[in-house]
């Protein structure tokens, strides 16, 4: 039986695990420790946990101060208030000085559901991606989340880990390699390649399954690292399959779709379609209903794959 | 109707909508009821039949997560049918998880990201003076919310621009998400802080709508006003009172029935 675990619980557990070996790790939160699950770390290492209150700008700059002093701060809040509200603090006080701060922001994307558009961060990847030197990891299940937290320690400089809220059935394997910047190919096919990230990876697998029943052979790539992007993999997929569909729980502007488009531009004429949020804001509703309404489903990915294949010359 | 009875009914409607949605923020919704009551049923100059009336007083729920209480008030005031409350936070309903002026009649300003509403309220008050209009602007803030630096930037500019048409009302319930304000990030002496920033300050019982209303009516000129309303988070439902755990979770069926019993309101349908 696959383990079902919320990605944020996996994030909190991972922090507590690395905390045992890495005394230089400190964790900072902004009155959301029980939502981001840094509370799991705080319970175990209260002397290395700092609640900064509802003050995200100060949170980021305080983390910067810790990093300047040789510590490794993991900073958590909701993606909206971290990547969004405190953007310029991250830009100038963390990224611009290439400081070793790990940003684990939770409640990203539409899966926040009922809280509505004000809380659904559909632009955090875009915001982080334009920062030189920022690594961006988007784990798809709790097994991968734990690997991402560990891997972030070995990356000197700032790392953004996108932590989705829902409980997800784990489908990757503990023994699978997780190398930041190197995509994992989950399924080999020849007609179209689906490049997906985060919660959309399972939807991509579902799409591939659906397509195979209709005689269409799809590759599925788990692009867990948005930056640096595995450009080699993207170009090889374009060459091999001749059609690319990206899938992300994020705006189609600035995220995975854009990163793949930038890679393909001038190098591949393969038809290319982006599945994601089509340049509009989110709203309140059950996550599953919103995913249907915004086209973040396996069946929409499958439809878009067929469209891309039909565009092949 | 007796004010206390009205407050109980508003609390019941608030909890019913959160129970129906199975998500939302009961604690801070229940603590803010009398503040909303003082404004919407007493001092504020509004026309529910004309939500966009230019000379209306503006009311900004800066602690936007408490909107289930505001939605219950607006429905009771006739801005939209009460049955809309049954669809709180659903995909086909205008009642968003946090107030949305583009979708819901009676909402003046979008909030939900803490700290921004009170700063927008300052802008509304400046614009009222700029346009030579005499309406007032009321901003309702949470105590945890006041940890946001922007609240103090807003306080500084409100005093600088002598915004005597701005009233900041604090829902002082002592709790935020991760626990008590004093454990998470102490606010210190909040009255002295606002005084130091140049506000006229008053402290009142935040569950006495009349006391809040008369504090608002006190004439003040040349200064923005701060009214510290001492409240109890989760007020009116014994097991929710003063419990951080009830900040953002919906009651179960048993809890809901118990709450309605305590509020003395029959469950319909
Ligand atoms: C900028 C921002 N940071 C964090 C949050 C998440 N959040 C929602 S409510 C809340 C606690 C608010 O506490 P308080 O202002 O005291 O509200 P109340 O006790 O009245 O419910 C937090 C941290 C948010 N909505 N906005
Ligand atoms: Mg509070």
Strands A225-227 and A135-137: antiparallel
Regarding the beta carbon of B126 and ligand 1, being less than 6 Å apart is answered: no
Residue at B154 is within a domain: yes
Residue B1 has what pLDDT? 78
Residue at B149 is within a domain: yes
Query: ipTM of this model?
Result: 0.94
pLDDT band at B268 (very low <50, low <70, confident <90, very high): confident
Give the tens place of pLDDT for each residue, B203-255.
999 999 999 999 999 999 999 999 999 999 999 999 999 999 999 999 999 99
B123 to chain A, closest Cα gap in Å:
19
More confident residue, B1 or B67: B67
Report the alpha-carbon angle B85-B91-B93, nearest 5.
Answer: 35
Instruction: Please tell me which residue of chain B has the smallest CA distance to A31.
Output: B178
Chain centroid to CA A258:
14
Q: Is the pLDDT of residue B18 over 80?
A: yes
Q: Which residues of A touch B183 (CB under 8 A)?
A: 51
Chains A & B: contacts with CB separation below 8 Å: 91
Residue at B268 is within a domain: no
CA dist B92 and B189 (Å) reads: 44
CA dist B82 and B72 (Å) reads: 8
Q: Is the pLDDT of residue A1 over 70?
A: no
Residue at B118 is within a domain: yes
Q: Where are the alpha helices (DSSP H) in A31-95?
A: 33-36, 39-44, 56-68, 79, 87-90
Question: What total number of domains does chain B contain?
Answer: 1
Give chain A's domains with CATH numbers: 4-169 (3.40.50.970), 184-310 (3.40.50.920)
Cβ-nearest to A284 among B97, B148, B149:
B97
**Contact assessment for residue B240 and residue B27, using Cβ atoms and an 8 Å cutoff:** yes
Return the residue in B112, B178, B183 with the most chain A beta carbons within 10 A, the one to mutate for interface testing.
Answer: B178
Return the residue in B21, B22, B26, B96 with the most chain A beta carbons within 10 A, the one to mutate for interface testing.
Answer: B96
Cβ-nearest to B177 among A34, A52, A81:
A34
Residue B269 has what pLDDT? 53
A61 contact B CB<8A: no
User: The dihedral of CA B65, B66, B70, B73: what is its sign?
Assistant: positive
Active site residue A293: no
Give the tens place of pLDDT for each residue, B36-61.
999 999 999 999 999 999 999 999 99
Per-residue tokens: B88: 């709180």
CA dist A310 and A271 (Å) reads: 9
Other CB atoms within 10 Å distance of the CB of residue A253: 15
Residue at B269 is within a domain: no
Report CB contact under 8 Å: A51, B21.
no
Residue A176 has what pLDDT? 96
Closest ligand relative to B31 C-alpha: 1
Q: Is the pLDDT of residue B198 over 80?
A: yes
pTM of the predicted model as reported, rounded to 2 decimal places: 0.96
**Contact assessment for residue A168 and residue A199, using Cβ atoms and an 8 Å cutoff:** yes
Q: What are phi and psi of A27, to 5 degrees?
A: -125, 130
Cβ-nearest to B184 among A51, A56, A290:
A51
| pLDDT average, residue stretch B141-170 | 98
Q: Is the pLDDT of residue A270 over 90?
A: yes
- Residue A78, sorted as left (phi over 0), alpha (psi -120 to 50) or beta, turns out to be beta
Q: Which domain holds residue B226?
A: 3-263
Q: How far is CA B213 from each of CA A37, B71, B199, rounded to the nearest angstrom? A: 41, 20, 18
Burial B120-153 (b: 16+ CB within 10 A, else e): bbbebbbebeeeeeebbbbbbbbbbbbbbebbbe
CA dist A119 and B96 (Å) reads: 11
CA-nearest of B232, B162, B242, B236 to B197 is B162
The per-residue pLDDT of chain A, averaged, comes to 97
Q: Which residues of A touch B114 (CB under 8 A)?
A: 54
A107 to chain B, closest Cα gap in Å:
14
**Contact assessment for residue B167 and residue B225, using Cβ atoms and an 8 Å cutoff:** yes
Give the tens place of pLDDT for each residue, A98-141.
999 999 999 999 999 999 999 999 999 999 999 999 999 999 99
Instruction: Please tell me which residue of chain A has the smallest CA distance to B95.
Output: A284
B91 contact A CB<8A: yes
Looking at residue A48, the DSSP 8-state letter turns out to be G
Hunting for tokens 């289930």 — which residue is that? B68
Pocket probe mutation, ligand 1, options B18, B25, B26, B28, max atoms within 8 Å of Cβ: B28
Residue at B180 is within a domain: yes
Give the tens place of pLDDT for each residue, B56-82.
999 999 999 999 999 999 999 999 999
Report CB contact under 8 Å: A117, B100.
yes
Looking at residue B57, the DSSP 8-state letter turns out to be P
**Contact assessment for residue A67 and residue A113, using Cβ atoms and an 8 Å cutoff:** no
For helices B209-217 and B3-21, angle between their N-to-C axes, nearest 10 degrees: 110
Residue at B64 is within a domain: yes
Give the tens place of pLDDT for each residue, A215-228.
999 999 999 999 99
Q: Is the pLDDT of residue B109 over 70?
A: yes
Q: Which CATH number goes with the domain that contains B223? A: 3.40.50.970
Residue B93 has what pLDDT? 97
């Amino acid at each position: 039986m696959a383990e079902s675990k919320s990605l944020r619980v996996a994030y909190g557990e991972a922090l507590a695990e690395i905390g045992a070996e890495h005394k230089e790790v400190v964790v900072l939160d902004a009155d959301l420790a029980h939502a981001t699950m840094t509370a799991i770390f705080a319970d175990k290492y209260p002397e290395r946990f700092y609640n900064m209150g509802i003050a995200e700008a100060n949170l980021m700059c305080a983390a910067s101060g810790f990093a300047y002093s040789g510590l490794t701060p993991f900073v958590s809040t909701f993606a909206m208030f971290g990547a969004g509200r405190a953007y310029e603090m991250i830009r100038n006080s963390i990224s611009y000085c290439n400081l070793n701060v790990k940003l684990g922001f939770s409640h990203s994307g539409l899966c926040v559901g009922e809280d509505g558009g004000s809380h659904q961060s559909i632009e955090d990847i875009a915001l982080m991606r334009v920062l030189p030197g920022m690594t961006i990891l988007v784990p798809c299940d709790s097994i991968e989340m734990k690997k991402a937290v560990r891997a972030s320690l070995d990356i000197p400089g700032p790392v953004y880990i996108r932590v989705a809220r829902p409980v997800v059935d784990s489908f990757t394997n503990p023994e699978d390699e997780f190398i930041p910047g190197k995509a994992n190919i989950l399924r080999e096919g020849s007609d179209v390649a689906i490049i997906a990230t985060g919660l959309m990876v399972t939807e991509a697998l579902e799409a591939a399954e659906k397509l195979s029943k209709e005689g269409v052979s799809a590759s599925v790539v788990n692009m867990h690292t948005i930056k640096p992007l595995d450009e080699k993999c993207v170009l090889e997929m374009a060459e091999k399959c001749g059609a690319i569909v990206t899938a992300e729980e994020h705006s189609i502007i600035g995220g995975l779709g854009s990163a793949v488009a930038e890679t393909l531009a001038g190098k591949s004429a393969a038809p290319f379609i982006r599945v994601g949020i089509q340049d509009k804001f989110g709203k309140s509703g059950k996550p599953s209903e919103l995913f249907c309404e915004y086209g973040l489903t396996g069946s929409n990915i499958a439809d878009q794959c067929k469209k891309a294949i039909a565009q092949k010359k | 109707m007796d004010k206390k009875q009205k407050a109980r009914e508003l609390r019941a409607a608030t909890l019913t909508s959160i129970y129906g949605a199975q998500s939302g923020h009961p604690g801070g919704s229940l603590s803010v009821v009398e503040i909303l009551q003082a404004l919407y049923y007493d001092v504020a100059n509004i026309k529910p039949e004309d939500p966009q009336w230019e000379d209306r007083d503006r009311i900004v729920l800066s602690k936007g997560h408490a909107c289930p209480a505001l939605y219950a008030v607006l429905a009771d005031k006739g801005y939209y049918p009460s049955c809309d409350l049954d669809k709180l936070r659903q995909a086909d309903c205008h009642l968003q998880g946090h107030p949305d002026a583009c979708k819901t009649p009676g909402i003046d300003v979008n909030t939900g990201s803490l700290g921004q509403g009170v700063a927008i309220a300052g802008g509304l008050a400046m614009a009222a003076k700029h346009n030579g209009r005499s309406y007032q602007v009321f901003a309702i803030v949470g105590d945890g919310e006041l940890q946001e630096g922007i609240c103090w930037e807003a306080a500084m500019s409100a005093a600088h621009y002598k915004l005597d048409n701005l009233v900041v009302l604090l829902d002082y319930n002592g709790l935020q998400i991760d626990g008590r304000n004093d454990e998470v990030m102490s606010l210190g002496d909040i009255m002295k802080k606002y005084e130091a920033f140049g506000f006229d300050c008053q402290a009142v019982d935040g569950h006495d709508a009349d006391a809040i209303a008369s504090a608002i009516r006190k004439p003040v000129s040349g200064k923005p006003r701060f009214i510290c309303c001492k409240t109890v988070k989760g007020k009116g439902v014994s097991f929710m009172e003063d419990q951080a755990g009830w900040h953002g979770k919906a009651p179960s069926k048993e809890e809901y029935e118990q709450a309605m019993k305590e509020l003395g309101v029959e469950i319909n349908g």
